[in-house]
Chain A
Amino acid sequence: MHIVDGALSTEVVVGGAILTVAGLGLGLKKLDVERIPAAGVLSATFFVASLIHVPIGPSSVHLILNGMAGLILGWAAFPALFVGLLLQAVFFGFGGITVLGANAFNIALPAVIVYYVCRHGIAQPSAKVAAVWGAIGGALSIALTTALVAFTLALSGEEFLPAAKLVFFAHLPVMVIEGLLTGAAVLLAHRVKPELFHALTEPTMEVSQNA
């Protein structure tokens, strides 16, 4: 999922960087004090999740968990995932510094999309319905990320469909695993901390109620 240094043309690298800076700006604006600890935890989760590998065919794919970050953080997933990616590049050599913008965009934008698609489902009073929406969000974010990765590669000269198919099918197991994982996480949050999703989607209201 991490595109490495040198795989993309300069225009794509610059474009990705600009889009990511815009996303970071928006994300930091939405990242209020209440959400920072959650962002930190999800950033660390994302950072470590990449080390859990699913061997498949000649390659292996790893967990990403951007869907979970998106569901909880919304736009604030941008800074959280960016920090995770930056440290992955520095510590593990995943991806690279020059392609950081493109990678962050490919991983964080699906998180934001999933947030908008699933947030009403997640906020349902029934824990089971919410868990199903969480599972959909977890799987959908990976599907969208594979599409974006294939699109990025296509912009740099690779054929879109073969690349898209390759990345998509390689990540099918990840979609299943992350769907289950995110669904279970939502279910758990509903049981033990039902206010989590409401609190994070409507932080100002929640604060005024607490105060």
Chain B
Amino acid sequence: MLKILTSGFVALILTVSGASAHKVVLSVYPSGAMFEGELGLSNGDMSEDQLVEVFDERDNKIGETKTDGDGFFTYQPTQAGIHVFRANLGAGHVAEVTVAADQIQASSGGAQAAAMPTTAVVTPEAIVSLSSALPDRDAVAKMIRNELRPLRQEIAAYKEKNDLQSILGGIGYIVGIFGIGMYVAARRKLKRASS
């Protein structure tokens, strides 16, 4: 009976494999005149069809976007200033990233926009004229972004990795903390016994 039970739950544990966290990972980066971002859980599962809301610095909602099948989303900014991207995957899984829209204009290479970032507003016409003026630059930028994407994902995944060292380290801390507790309690007991 006991053997069956034991082997039963050993099998259960083995089937639920994978030592990974389930933290929400939200990353947003400027990409040309847009924001690009990714949303997923830190175990590598990307969130499909998930609403990402965008707020300004005064917490007013200024827009929203949805992720595609790979947890990837884009957002076209309509105003300058701080953009706060917020995603709520339910059950307390929330993530928030703050980006300044100024980064967008700077990365799209507009010298004028960079000179007065707080007042500049990206309009669709401006983007069209910019991209027609610099076709190569845009194409190259897009290519580099595509090339870098897997690398960025890998770095994000690496940051979330829990390796054996941190697990053993944590257990070590627990042993230490309870060891100190034991010491204090034992001292107190001895003192009480001697008095």
User: Taking the complex as formed, is A198 at the interface, i.e. its CB lies under 8 A from any CB of chain B?
Assistant: no
Q: Are B170 and A47 in contact (CB under 8 A)?
A: yes
Q: Are A60 and B19 in contact (CB under 8 A)?
A: no
8 Å CB contacts to A: which residues of B150-195? 160, 162, 166-167, 169-171, 173-175, 177-179, 181-182, 185-186, 189
Interfacial chain B residues near A187, Cβ < 8 Å: 2, 5
User: Taking the complex as formed, is B89 at the interface, i.e. its CB lies under 8 A from any CB of chain A?
Assistant: yes
Q: Which of B18, B42, B160, B173 contacts A87 (CB 8 A)?
A: B173
Counting contact residues on chain A (CB < 8 A from B), the size range is 35 or more
B6-14, B57-65, B102-110, B132-140: which one contacts chain A? B6-14
User: Taking the complex as formed, is B76 at the interface, i.e. its CB lies under 8 A from any CB of chain A?
Assistant: no
Interfacial chain B residues near A180, Cβ < 8 Å: 5, 8-9, 12
| In the bound complex, CA of A87 to CA of B170 (Å) | 6
Interfacial chain A residues near B171, Cβ < 8 Å: 44, 47-48
Q: How far is the CB of A170 from chain B (nearest CB, A)?
A: 7
Chain A's closest residue to B6 (CB) is A184
Q: Which of A7, A52, A149, A163 contacts B13 (CB 8 A)?
A: A52
Counting contact residues on chain B (CB < 8 A from A), the size range is 35 or more
B29-37, B92-100, B115-123, B141-149: which one contacts chain A? B92-100
Q: A37-B178, A180-B5 are in contact. Are A166 and B91 (CB under 8 A)?
A: yes
Q: Are B2 and A59 in contact (CB under 8 A)?
A: no
Q: Are A51 and B185 in contact (CB under 8 A)?
A: no
Q: Are A39 and B178 in contact (CB under 8 A)?
A: yes
Q: Which of B2, B5, B182 contacts A36 (CB 8 A)?
A: B182
Q: How far is the CB of B59 from chain A (nearest CB, A)?
A: 13
| In the bound complex, CA of A5 to CA of B89 (Å) | 14
User: Taking the complex as formed, is B48 at the interface, i.e. its CB lies under 8 A from any CB of chain A?
Assistant: yes
A18-26, A89-97, A114-122: which one contacts chain B? A89-97
Interfacial chain B residues near A167, Cβ < 8 Å: 91
Q: A31-B181, A180-B12 are in contact. Are A60 and B22 (CB under 8 A)?
A: yes
Chain A's closest residue to B47 (CB) is A58
Q: Are B178 and A36 in contact (CB under 8 A)?
A: yes
Q: Are B91 and A153 in contact (CB under 8 A)?
A: yes
Q: Are A60 and B5 in contact (CB under 8 A)?
A: no
Return the CB mask of A44-73 against B: 1 if under 8 Å, else 0: 100110011111001111110000000000
Interfacial chain A residues near B178, Cβ < 8 Å: 36-37, 39-40, 43, 83
Q: Are B185 and A33 in contact (CB under 8 A)?
A: yes
User: Taking the complex as formed, is B70 at the interface, i.e. its CB lies under 8 A from any CB of chain A?
Assistant: no
Interface centre among A31, A40, A63, A167 (most CB of B within 10 A): A40
Chain B's closest residue to A84 (CB) is B174
Chain A's closest residue to B1 (CB) is A187
Q: Are B45 and A60 in contact (CB under 8 A)?
A: yes
Interfacial chain B residues near A32, Cβ < 8 Å: 185
User: Taking the complex as formed, is B20 at the interface, i.e. its CB lies under 8 A from any CB of chain A?
Assistant: yes
Q: How far is the CB of A64 from chain B (nearest CB, A)?
A: 13
User: Taking the complex as formed, is A129 at the interface, i.e. its CB lies under 8 A from any CB of chain B?
Assistant: no
Interfacial chain A residues near B18, Cβ < 8 Å: 53, 55, 60
Q: How far is the CB of A27 from chain B (nearest CB, A)?
A: 11
| In the bound complex, CA of A154 to CA of B156 (Å) | 31
Q: Which of B9, B48, B96, B175 contacts A6 (CB 8 A)?
A: B96
Could you list 6 examples of A-B contacts with CB < 8 Å? Answer: A4-B23, A31-B181, A55-B18, A63-B16, A181-B12, A187-B5
* Extra 18 A-B pairs, beta carbons < 8 Å, given A4-B92, A60-B22, A94-B21: A4-B94, A6-B94, A36-B181, A40-B174, A43-B174, A44-B175, A47-B171, A51-B162, A52-B19, A58-B47, A58-B48, A59-B89, A60-B41, A88-B170, A90-B170, A93-B42, A163-B91, A177-B9
